[in-house]
Amino acid sequence: MQKDYYTILGLEKSASKDEIKKAFRKLAHKYHPDKQGGDRDKFNEASEAYSVLSDDKKRAEYDQYGRTFAGGGGGANAGFNGFDFSQFSEGMNGVEFDFGDIFNQFFGGRGGGGARQARGRDISIDVEIPFEEAVFGTKRTVLLTKTSACDTCKGNGAEPGSEMETCTACNGKGQIHETRQSLLGAISTTRACANCHGNGKVPKKKCHTCHGAGVARKQEEIVIAIPAGISGGEMIRMTGLGEMVQGGVPGDLYVKVHVRPHSFLRKDGSHLRMELNVKLSDALLGGSYTVKTLDGDISVKIPAGISFGEVLRVKGKGIPIEGSRRGDLLISVVIALPKKLSKKAKGLIEDLGKEGI
């Protein structure tokens, strides 16, 4: 029988470390074998209980499983929730148990439900596009070599014109039911029939191209729709365009988009940002500049007295949002200061300085 260490020390399961230590000292003093009236067995029992409950890791294991796994306490044969698994180490009544399979059934999500459908492999590719196409969206056509449905038999594995017949392995059900004995009782599982791949029928004559597999390696053109406003590093998932598998569902195609940087524009959410160099005289007196945008050249008015770093907003020249709506073009003003001044210019600026400008 599994020992109850808390009962041995006379404690509740919620006892603190100090309470455990005090309880052990009291029992050790009472049952020490060198003391008159001592009891070696009870002393060893209390020592064993203390060695487990005073160690946080061992105590946690004991509380959860009824034993410890670090060599201390609980007995060598104690197992899950205190159950002794040692009797099953050589099998029981000649039946061996696959514990990995048992825990897969109970904790892996399959249980005794329907058969898990086979799924093709996912594919991942990279695509690079220029900044302009990332802003407005575009389409790309790529040529992939992948496992797809056989063109000859259209995926059913049969030679064209050949009839299909009932699968003898599953009697046309497409699924195989199995019942296995385990220490937890009888476990029923369902899996797709390997002979017919879950279809319930097999061809009388196999396809000469794919030899009955229903799938074949071939090149296929894929059109990728890249949405407007995509950022570099974003992933597009194209469901069902991965590799095929007979009797199952195809995997997915994942497209990672890389965007080449623009020479002067950068993305800021739904807006575009750029810098515009403005002459000092135009910053003081105002002026007009022609600015290149993704929509062509536009004229931008510089208001008199503008400061370095001020932002001019041009509405509707940013990134498409939805429908006909777009973000804005944000222009940061950079005042270009001359590195050298002529004698005349220097005199004029000195005069401005006298005016307090």
Question: What average pLDDT score do residues 6-35 get?
Answer: 88
Identify the DSSP state of 204: S
User: pLDDT band at residue 104, thresholds of 50, 70 and 90?
Assistant: very low
* Superfamily covering domain 266-354: Urease metallochaperone UreE, N-terminal domain (2.60.260.20)
Q: Domain 123-259 belongs to what architecture?
A: Ribbon (2.10)
Does the domain formed by 5-86 have CATH 1.10.287.110?
Answer: yes
Instruction: Give yes or no for residue 345 having a pLDDT over 90.
Output: no
> Rounded mean pLDDT of 126-132?
96
Q: What is the mean pLDDT of residues 298-321?
A: 94
d(CA 31, CA 8): 13
Model confidence pLDDT, tens digit, residues 54-97: 888 888 878 876 666 554 444 433 333 333 433 333 444 444 44
Q: What φ, ψ does residue 197 adopt, rounded to 5°? A: 60, 35
Percent of the chain with pLDDT over 70: 83
Indicate the domain borders of the chain. 5-86, 123-259, 266-354
pLDDT on residue 169 = 85
Confidence at residue 65, expressed as pLDDT on a 0 to 100 scale = 67
202 confidence band (pLDDT: 50, 70, 90)? confident
Quote the tokens at residue 39.
């009891």
Mean pLDDT of 338-354: 83
The model carries a pTM of 0.58
Task: Report the interhelical angle of 40-53 vs 17-31 (nearest 10°).
Answer: 170
pLDDT value at residue 88: 39
Residues in the chain: 357
Check pLDDT > 70 for residue 114.
Answer: no
Q: What is the mean pLDDT of the chain?
A: 82
- Bridge partners (DSSP) of residue 314 are 329
> What pLDDT does residue 327 have?
94
Three-state secondary structure string covering 106-133: HHCCCCCCCCCCCECCCEEEEEEECHHH
Question: Confidence class of residue 318 from pLDDT cuts 50, 70 and 90?
Answer: very high
pLDDT in tens, 206-262: 899 888 888 999 999 999 999 999 999 999 999 999 999 887 889 999 999 999 999
CB burial of 216-240 (b: ≥16 within 10 Å; e: otherwise) equals beeeeebebebebbbeeeeebeeee
- Composition of the chain by helix, strand, coil, percent to 5: 25, 30, 45
